[in-house]
Amino acid sequence: MEVLKSPLSASQKGKLISAGYTSINLLSSVSPSHLALELKISEAEALEILKTVSDGSRSESTSTSCTIVKGAQSAWDMLQEEETLVRITTSSSDFDNILGGGISCKEVTEIGGVPGIGKTQLGIQLAVNVQIPFDYGGLGGKAIYIDTEGSFMVERALQIAEACGDDMAEYSRLYRKGFHSHEVKIQPKDFLENIFYFRVCSYTEQIALINYLDKFITDHKDVKVVIIDSITFHFRQDFDDMALRTRLLGGMALKLMKLARKFGVAVVVLNQVTTKYSDGSFHLALALGDSWSHASTNRIILHWNGNERYAYIDKSPSLRSASAPYSVTGKGIRDSPSNNKRIKNI
Amino acid sequence: MGALKSLEEVYHIIDANFLQFCASRGIFSVEDFLVHDVSMLMASADKLSNSDRLKQGINQLVLITETYHQPWMNGLMLLEDREQNKHYISTGSESFDVLLQGGLREGHVTELVGPSSSGKTQVCFQVASNVALKKGNVVFFDSGNSFSPTRIKQMVTHISGSEENKVNGGVEEAMRHIECHAVFDIYTLLDLLHQLKLNLKSQSQKKSTELIIIDSISSLIAPILGGSNAQGHALMVSLGYLLKDLSHQHNIAVLVTNHMVSGEGGSLKPALGESWRNIPHVQLQLSQHHTTTNIYGVYILRHPYMASGKSVNFMIP
Amino acid sequence: MANKLISEMGLPKSIGHIFAARNIITAKDALSLTEFELMELLDVGLTQVTLAVALISEIASPPYQTVQSLLEQRMQNEYLTGHLPTHLKGLDLALFGGIPFGALTELVGPAGIGKTQVKKEGADGLFWLQFCLKMSVLATLPSCYGGLDGHVIYIDVESKFSSRRLIEIGLNSFPEIFHLEGMAKEMAGRITVLRPGSLSEFTESLQKIKVSLLQNQVKLLVVDSMAALVSGEYEQGPPRQHPLGWHISFIKSLAEFSRIPVVMTNQVRSRSATEISNYSFQGEKRDDCGNFDSHLVAALGIHWAHAVTIRLVLESRSGKRFIKVAKSPMSPPLSFPFKITSSGILLLNDDGIEMSGPQINAIDHQGHSDIILS
């Protein structure tokens, strides 16, 4: 590999190239002191350079693994892995159906909709549902809730947690009579204990926190969902330099995807809507512009259809575009009462 | 190539004496040597006492440099290479293939541009499934967490079902031919591509890699452009040339995807600007016809030997 | 945290100096650049940049709390776990006790008609004014009477605030307190009224408030009305920068940091025929819930609506008046029929009627056009 493409600083690259080290293979047998002398830099810096480039050249040694590129996985192996993954239920079976069983781990799912459609409620519901234990078909994980708007309501979380606990008790009473004796009901308190709440007050904090999540999740391995409510808020105010905004959002999107992939967590990003001019008329569209629209793996739009709330899959590499009704009740997100089986595959 | 010193061990003629001679003229590396006039060097060597040995050294260097450039080829040889080695890869949709006179070409870098959910990733999956069913290897670099094995399985099953080669385990075998690597920054991508290049050189005949997909390349490049850095540009261009080199040397079709952003007046344009435009051989624009159907449209933006502007519709199962 | 100094973060000396030399002083400066840009600007390698950014990020990140500890903390420190009761039983139940602290509550209804109408008790145009005044009274009441025992800042854009009415409301609702000698005067004295004449004056007063909020035991902030500040700027289309963008985030942060409830009113306007309510995937079909003439929408657009936490809407349908909880993260959409009696507002039904459909966002005024026009 050429030195030009290595992750070194511009001046280091410049020094190496003018000393004749255009390719990093040439550096393999050079000692730090020799290099320091040659480039007229400190020995520590020379050591740094050699370390960086040896990281690059180590991977160049032909791998003996069966894949062509080291670290890659064949689609078949990934399929096997994916089929064992548990998804996070939304508590509405119609909604789950169009999602292929729920919100997928290892992916970034963006959910947007008009004010009052139930985005925050869905966020809280997911933070609770991720904790449903394995025995009940859940993940038994913990949740990170990042609140940028200040719209998180602890009382509502308590209410949803209570309802979820009740439903689980009901479930075990109906289907698992044998286990009844040693069944301990999960208390709402336990649910709330497992939601890590971060309040973010500026876009700087938002970027910092997303960078920091890598370390945080390493320390809290049982986190299985990260909810950001909403990604939009701070980026819609006080931003004059739109190109900078696009770059920062782009960088953030990559980091979120990396988190999802690396730790197998579901990343759920809530987004606001805005009006957009296209094809000669104004339409509602999710905010943050065209380049952001590529940032998520799945994109779901919550909208009104007649008198019902519907979830619509706007974009997904694996799911068919479809929509399903759901409703927001006192207990949280539930199936729409009026129609139990009316999913439209469009 | 590189520093002259590194040649000392291999070529005895390039000794300390010779190096000193070069150094006194400001020549430390092979690159430095190349920008000097050889006859001038010869003339100045003549004036010195050990001129013969120095001249031998110079000739040796000239020989070394000659082995480094690509061999000359004439048009006939190029045509032969093209006809023997550069095959078409079917996209899996008949009308799409007809538009491209056979499909994606090995040795070409093909770029798909389109707005969000215009079918870019779906086309990638379909081409990959097609190649894999014919036992070609596919390397898929995924920067958008959009690689979906479940969807690939659907496509592989669909394609193999429509032909008669529906063998048990065929799906598994095909899917083993596709490998995916998640990539979230450009340095990792460059590193992996280099590794791929080396592996291809060393085990050229054992496994044939026919297709490299990068979905999407713009989300890796966009963050390094802008601001006021020339380095970002340099990296982008060198990535482009690396892809071209890989596709040409190893007869691989390279398929990359590019986003679209709003340009002036609200119309959409490809996200990577003018300097990237020169890299891909073929640029195709995708659009979804109606949001409720699986009919997509493709339009030729740029092609080395076809008129741009032609378009067809195709369907993805 | 965004303004934390990098020099105090304990970065390795060598790289710390480089940050300082390039004038990257705060976490905000550093994190507003991508890692690649930092490499360029600082002229150091990727590994070092990544390490530095990771460290800066860790320090600049806000701390976390589990929701349980948040709940416990609120229950311990705050009256009714952080709610100012409206004394409308059903509404208080739906909102878990009242208007929440630390959040924005928006009241949507027809604009006040002006001083000439003040005497017409119960006119919808003044309904929210009355509501705001009542909330002000409640916030100033001594805690033994269920109040917050604090001060109120009342930003009165349209000059509708009236001390006389305030005291009237006090006398009607809490006669036992307001009949005490000097009490009415003291209550009224705890309410500071600001009357900004323009958006820029409003901006100025907001900045001044920030300081006094903490000094003066302020327990409620009222803005009546927000929409009047930007009247005439309702045009459709994609505004790059919302005229109130800065104010939204500033008021939100005020509410948050001083943990007080913020109540603001918003006007309505008639819904134009080109109103955008569809996504492109929904096609061109218009939603058909009634004719447009009788439909109103909130004056400040969708961007604003995203920013508020709770939205209460006043509407009238077939001769009845309703308060709707149109947006709230805590309750299903409910609508409460009410009537106005001599002692104030009376909910006819404390359970509320669960609303379905987008009518929760539409604002009905069928059969009461006299109220809007008069």
In the prediction, which pLDDT does A339 show? Answer: 53
Contact list, B261 vs chain A (CB under 8 Å)? 246, 289-291
Most trustworthy range by pLDDT among A26-40, A157-171, C292-306: A157-171
- Interface mutation vs chain B, best among A24, A76, A210, A276, most B CBs within 10 Å: A76
CATH number 3.40.50.300 is the correct assignment for the domain at A78-345 = yes
The percent of residues in chain A predicted with pLDDT above 90, rounded, is 27
pLDDT at C109 over 80: no
> Taking a C-beta distance cutoff of 8 angstroms, is the pair A56, A6 a contact?
yes
H-run or E-run covering C17: helix C13-21
In the prediction, which pLDDT does A181 show? Answer: 46
CATH topology of domain B81-315: Rossmann fold (3.40.50)
- Is any Cβ of chain B less than 8 angstroms from the Cβ of C53? no
Residues C248 and C269 in one domain: yes
CA distance A181 to A160: 26
Cβ of C306 within 8 Å of Cβ of A232? The answer is yes
Domain boundaries, chain A: 3-58, 78-345
- Taking alpha carbons only, the member of A84, A188, A80, A203 closest to residue A146 is A203
**Which chain B residue is nearest to residue C45, measuring alpha carbons?**
B187
CA distance B141 to A261: 13
In the prediction, which pLDDT does A279 show? Answer: 64
Please tell me which chains touch A, using 3 or more CB pairs under 8 Å as the contact test. B, C
CA distances from C84 to A139, C95, C106 (A): 38, 10, 14
pLDDT at C234 over 50: no
Contact list, B291 vs chain C (CB under 8 Å)? 280-281
> Taking a C-beta distance cutoff of 8 angstroms, is the pair C347, C88 a contact?
yes
CA distance A22 to A15: 10
Contact list, B206 vs chain A (CB under 8 Å)? none
Q: Determine, yes or no, domain membership for C79.
A: yes
Mean pLDDT of A228-247: 81
Extract the tokens encoding B228.
């006021």
At A343, the pLDDT band (50, 70, 90 cuts) reads very low
Residues C85 and C225 in one domain: yes
Q: If contacts are CB pairs under 8 Å, which of residues 229-288 in chain A contact chain C?
A: 230, 232-234, 236-238, 240, 242, 244, 247-248, 251, 272-279, 281-285
Q: Determine, yes or no, domain membership for C286.
A: yes
pLDDT at A90 over 80: yes
- Is any Cβ of chain A less than 8 angstroms from the Cβ of B8? no
Mean pLDDT of C36-43: 84
Cβ of A72 within 8 Å of Cβ of B179? The answer is yes
H-run or E-run covering A290: helix A289-292
CA distances from B272 to A342, B217, B234, B244, C350 (A): 43, 9, 14, 17, 59
Residues C117 and C190 in one domain: yes
Alpha carbon of A220: minimum distance to chain B alpha carbons (Å): 23
pLDDT at C331 over 90: no
Q: Which distant-in-sequence residues (6+ apart) come within 8 Å of C303 by Cβ? A: A236, A272, A274, C239, C242, C245, C248
pLDDT at A57 over 60: no
Residues C88 and C36 in one domain: no
**pLDDT tens across B245-264, in order?**
989 888 899 999 998 877 66
In the prediction, which pLDDT does B169 show? Answer: 67
Contact list, B144 vs chain A (CB under 8 Å)? 257, 294-295, 297
Distance of CA C214 to the CA centre of its chain: 19
- E strand map for A76-222: 108-113, 142-147, 195-199
In the prediction, which pLDDT does C112 show? Answer: 46
- Is any Cβ of chain B less than 8 angstroms from the Cβ of C37? yes
> Taking a C-beta distance cutoff of 8 angstroms, is the pair A119, A113 a contact?
yes
- DSSP for A5-24 reads GSS--HHHHHHHHHTT--BG
pLDDT at C18 over 60: yes
> Taking a C-beta distance cutoff of 8 angstroms, is the pair A70, A63 a contact?
yes
Extract the tokens encoding B209.
């890699």
Cβ of A79 within 8 Å of Cβ of B175? The answer is yes
- Taking alpha carbons only, the member of C50, C62, C40 closest to residue A208 is C62
Mean pLDDT of A271-292: 78
Q: Determine, yes or no, domain membership for C171.
A: yes
H-run or E-run covering A261: helix A242-263
**pLDDT tens across C163-201, in order?**
888 888 888 888 887 777 777 788 888 888 888 878 888
- Is any Cβ of chain C less than 8 angstroms from the Cβ of B187? yes
Domain end position, chosen among C60, C84, C105: C60
Q: Print the domain residue range for C368.
A: 73-373
pLDDT at B28 over 70: yes
pLDDT at C32 over 80: yes
In the prediction, which pLDDT does C302 show? Answer: 74
Cβ of B137 within 8 Å of Cβ of A278? The answer is no
**Which chain C residue is nearest to residue A206, measuring alpha carbons?**
C61
In the prediction, which pLDDT does B1 show? Answer: 52
H-run or E-run covering A341: none
- Taking alpha carbons only, the member of B48, B45, B74, B70 closest to residue B60 is B45
In the prediction, which pLDDT does C330 show? Answer: 72
Contact list, C39 vs chain B (CB under 8 Å)? 231
CA distance C83 to A330: 19
Higher pLDDT, C358 or A195: A195
CATH number of the domain to which C360 belongs: 3.40.50.300
Cβ of B291 within 8 Å of Cβ of A321? The answer is yes
User: 């209570």: which residue's tokens?
Assistant: A162
Q: Which amino acid is at C104?
A: L
At B162, the pLDDT band (50, 70, 90 cuts) reads low
Residues C151 and C14 in one domain: no
Q: Which amino acid is at A243?
A: A
Extract the tokens encoding A78.
């990934």
Residues C225 and C335 in one domain: yes
Peptide bond into A293 cis (omega under 30): no
**How does the average pLDDT of chain B come out, rounded?**
83
- Residue count of chain A: 346
ipTM of model: 0.81
- Taking alpha carbons only, the member of B211, B257, B256 closest to residue B107 is B211
> Taking a C-beta distance cutoff of 8 angstroms, is the pair A325, A305 a contact?
yes
Cβ of C61 within 8 Å of Cβ of A247? The answer is no
Mean pLDDT of B27-34: 80
pLDDT at C366 over 50: no
- Taking alpha carbons only, the member of C211, C203, C287 closest to residue C246 is C203
- Interface mutation vs chain B, best among C37, C38, C50, C284, most B CBs within 10 Å: C37
User: 């197998």: which residue's tokens?
Assistant: A264
The percent of residues in chain C predicted with pLDDT above 70, rounded, is 75
At B207, the pLDDT band (50, 70, 90 cuts) reads low
Count other C-beta atoms under 10 Å from residue A133's C-beta: 12
**pLDDT tens across A110-131, in order?**
999 888 888 989 999 999 999 9
CA distances from A10 to A17, A174, B140, B275 (A): 11, 67, 30, 21
pLDDT at A303 over 80: yes
- DSSP for A51-79 reads HHHHHHHHTTSPP-SSSSSTT-EEHHHHH
In the prediction, which pLDDT does A126 show? Answer: 95
Model-level pTM?
0.84
CATH number 3.40.640.10 is the correct assignment for the domain at A3-58 = no
- Is any Cβ of chain A less than 8 angstroms from the Cβ of B235? yes
Cβ of C280 within 8 Å of Cβ of A278? The answer is yes
- Taking alpha carbons only, the member of B164, B241, B177, B175 closest to residue B208 is B177
Residues C98 and C28 in one domain: no
> Taking a C-beta distance cutoff of 8 angstroms, is the pair C75, C82 a contact?
no
- Taking alpha carbons only, the member of A316, A268, A90 closest to residue B154 is A316
According to DSSP, the β-strands at B253-258 and B209-215 are parallel
In the prediction, which pLDDT does C240 show? Answer: 45
**pLDDT tens across C57-87, in order?**
999 898 999 999 988 888 887 766 688 888 8
Structural domain total, chain C: 2
pLDDT at C123 over 60: no
Cβ of B179 within 8 Å of Cβ of A62? The answer is no
- Is any Cβ of chain A less than 8 angstroms from the Cβ of B181? yes
Cβ of C71 within 8 Å of Cβ of A150? The answer is no
Cβ of C33 within 8 Å of Cβ of B229? The answer is no
- Is any Cβ of chain A less than 8 angstroms from the Cβ of B169? no
Mean pLDDT of C272-281: 62
Q: Determine, yes or no, domain membership for C298.
A: yes
Residues C217 and C335 in one domain: yes
Residues C41 and C125 in one domain: no
In a 10 Å sphere around its CB, with 0-12 CB exposed, 13-18 middle and 19+ buried, how is residue A18 labelled?
middle
The percent of residues in chain B predicted with pLDDT above 70, rounded, is 91
In a 10 Å sphere around its CB, with 0-12 CB exposed, 13-18 middle and 19+ buried, how is residue C253 labelled?
middle
CA distances from C149 to A85, A279, C74, C138 (A): 54, 56, 18, 8
Q: Determine, yes or no, domain membership for C16.
A: yes
Q: Which distant-in-sequence residues (6+ apart) come within 8 Å of A220 by Cβ? A: A142, A196
At A217, the pLDDT band (50, 70, 90 cuts) reads very high
Domain boundaries, chain B: 4-68, 81-315
In the prediction, which pLDDT does C368 show? Answer: 39
User: 């330099």: which residue's tokens?
Assistant: A241
* HEC-encoded secondary structure of chain B: CCEHHHHCCCCCCCCHHHHHHHHHCCCCEHHHHHCCCHHHHHHHHHCCCCHHHHHHHHHHHHHHHHHHCCCCCCHHHHHHHHHHHCCEECCCCHHHHHHCCCCEECCCEEEEECCCCCCHHHHHHHHHHHHHHCCCEEEEEECCCCCCHHHHHHHHHHHHHHCCCCCCCHHHHHHHCEEEEECCCHHHHHHHHHHHHHHHHHCCCCCCEEEEEEECCHHHHHHHCCCCCHHHHHHHHHHHHHHHHHHHHCCCEEEEEECEEECHHHCEEECCCHHHHCCCCEEEEEEECCCCCCEEEEEEEECCCCCCCCEEEEECC
Sign of CA dihedral C62, C66, C71, C77: negative
**How does the average pLDDT of chain C come out, rounded?**
76
Residues C30 and C144 in one domain: no
SS3 C312: strand
- Report the number of secondary-structure helices (H) and strands (E) in chain C: 14, 16
pLDDT at A227 over 70: yes
**Which chain B residue is nearest to residue C40, measuring alpha carbons?**
B229
pLDDT at A344 over 60: no
